[in-house]
Amino acid sequence: MRRHLTAGLAAVCLAVGAAFAIAPTASAGPLDATCTGTVAVDYSPGLTLTAQTVTASATSTYPSCLTSQTGVTSASASGSVTDTLDCNSLLTTTTGVKTYHWNDGTTSRFEYTRTGTRVLSQTVVTFTGTITSGKFSGDTAVETNIAANLGLLDCLAPGGVTHVDFTALVELT
């Protein structure tokens, strides 16, 4: 049974917009790029309250980018990881690599530290690090993903939580 966390999505989107409006930029320097979009994550098997080996597959789309580079207006990223996860794993700190694919055919390799926290009814996952190669190499990067908190009943349901949709903001300076 596929469990989706979409209840209250409109409220989350409004809160996300407010959070992004007051969020500080990655550093004091000028923005080289700022992108908004979504991140869809599928979990197999689903997340439950018990830690188990899970494959998390993420597809990120950033259809709206303002950049310092002529013609760069959107980006995407995708990937998967297999790890020991449970419903609280979004709040753990870990490191990783993500590659942004820009609409002009170039890429940016992002090496990050991921942290997570709960703010009211939202889970905020922040990726902070550096673009280590490709377009915008040397930039500081911050990606903030926000979703509704995972509900206890969703985590207890047969099959657990198999999908989470995040709203995303990327800032490169």
pLDDT confidence of 138, banded at 50, 70, 90? very high
Whether the Cβ atoms of residue 7 and residue 153 lie closer than 8 Å to each other: no
**Residue boundaries of the structural domains of the chain:** 9-172
Return the structure tokens found at 135: 């377009």
Tens-place pLDDT, residues 4-43: 443 333 333 333 443 443 344 444 578 999 999 999 999 9
Cα separation, 128 vs 157, whole angstroms: 33
Tell me what the mean pLDDT of segment 74-98 comes to. Answer: 92
pLDDT in tens, 67-84: 999 999 999 999 998 999
This prediction's pTM: 0.82
Helix (H, G, I), strand (E, B) or coil at 34: strand
Query: In Å, how far are 28, 66, 82, 167 from 74, measured between CA atoms?
Result: 24, 8, 28, 15
What is the pLDDT at residue 22?
37
Q: Alpha-carbon distance 56 to 164, whole Å?
A: 10
Distance CA 169, CA 38 (A): 8
Residues 34-57, mean pLDDT to the nearest whole number: 96
Bridge partners of 62?
75
Residue 30: its pLDDT value, please? 87
| Mean pLDDT taken over the chain | 86
The fold adopted by the segment(s) 9-172 is AOC barrel-like (2.40.350)
